[in-house]
């Protein structure tokens, strides 16, 4: 069967952080595509359910893929209002990285100054508030059907460095991530690991360690 010059299909999978996805053609063929293969830079990033028009290409392994892609105008028009109100995932991730660097810098300074034991509650409060905010953002993204979500590793990381009380409150109040068993198993290990580390720091051996690293 001779294929038309340009095909049409629906995005069935999209991974925004990697910039690739799969589109199902109207002939029920599943094709790979990458953000770099768009004919022109799209008005927004693709999402699951978007309609695309494209040409058929062949890679080095002789596999078909979608190239010269274009986002259908009807899809762009339908999603413009949602785009204006959707959280900027990239900006949120940048803020999360900045907070992480700042947190560890303050942690190091408190250890060197010998004041770690006195500001532990402040660390937990700060990390918990930030973790709760991340859960709120991820909940909004999930409710709006946004194609990009905050990585679960980031949520678990901020819980591990002391934000697990905020994460626990967020899970209960927002009903977020409470039914995903794999996430809950990891979360229990995070609480256990953080609690063991804190108890060790408060023990005699931990106090001796803190005294050794103190510079002032």
The percent of residues above 70 in pLDDT, for the chain, comes to: 84
The predicted pLDDT at position 96 comes to 75
Domain spans in the chain, listed from the N-terminal domain onward: 7-81, 86-213
Chain centroid, CA 106 distance in Å:
24
Q: How far is the C-alpha of 3 from the C-alpha of 55, rounded, in Å?
A: 10
pTM for the full model? 0.54
Candidates 75, 12, 9; CA nearest to 44 is 75
Closest-CA residue to 19 (of 31, 44, 36): 36
CA atoms of 138 and 152, how far apart (whole Å): 10
pLDDT-derived band at 193, boundaries 50, 70, 90: very high
- Fold (topology level) of 7-81: OB fold (Dihydrolipoamide Acetyltransferase, E2P) (2.40.50)
Report the pLDDT averaged over residues 195-210.
85
Helix %, strand %, coil % of the chain (to 5)? 55, 15, 25
Reported as a single tens digit per residue, the pLDDT across 30-68 is: 899 999 999 888 888 898 889 999 998 988 888 889 999
What are the residues facing 32 on neighbouring strands? 22, 65
Please state, rounded to an integer, the average pLDDT across all residues of the chain.
Answer: 82
DSSP letter at 114 equals T
Residue 165 clears pLDDT 50, i.e. is over it: yes
Specify the higher pLDDT residue, 105 or 125.
Answer: 125
**C-alpha span between 105 and 46 (Å, rounded):** 37
Q: Percent of the chain scored above 90 by pLDDT? A: 33
For residue 90, pLDDT over 70 is answered with: no
When pLDDT is averaged across residues 132-140 and rounded to a whole number, the result is 90
- pLDDT of the residue at 172: 93
pLDDT at 26 (0 to 100): 80
Confidence (pLDDT) at 84: 41
Note the maximum CA span of the chain.
79
149: left (phi over 0), alpha (psi -120 to 50) or beta: beta
Nearest to 163 by CA among 132, 197, 139, 200: 132
Distance from C-alpha of 65 to C-alpha of 29, rounded to nearest angstrom:
10
């Amino acid at each position: 069967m001779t294929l038309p010059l340009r095909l049409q299909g629906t995005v069935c999978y999209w991974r925004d952080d990697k910039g690739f996805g799969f589109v199902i053609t109207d002939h029920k063929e599943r094709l790979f595509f990458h953000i770099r293969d768009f004919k022109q830079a799209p008005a927004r990033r693709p999402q699951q359910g978007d309609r695309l028009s494209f040409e058929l290409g062949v890679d080095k392994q002789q596999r078909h893929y979608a190239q010269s892609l274009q986002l259908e105008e009807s899809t762009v028009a339908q999603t413009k209002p949602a785009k204006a109100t959707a959280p900027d995932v990239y900006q949120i991730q940048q803020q999360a990285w900045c907070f992480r660097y700042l947190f560890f810098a303050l942690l190091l300074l408190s250890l060197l100054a010998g004041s770690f034991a006195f500001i532990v509650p402040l660390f937990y409060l700060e990390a918990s508030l930030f973790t709760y905010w991340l859960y709120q953002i991820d909940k909004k993204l999930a409710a709006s059907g946004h194609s990009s979500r905050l990585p679960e590793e980031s949520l678990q990381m901020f819980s591990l460095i002391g934000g697990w009380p905020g994460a626990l409150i967020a899970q209960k109040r927002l009903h977020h991530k409470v039914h995903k068993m794999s996430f809950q198993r990891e979360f229990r290990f995070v609480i256990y690991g953080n609690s063991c580390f804190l108890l060790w720091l408060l023990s005699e051996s931990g106090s001796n360690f803190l005294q050794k690293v103190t510079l002032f």
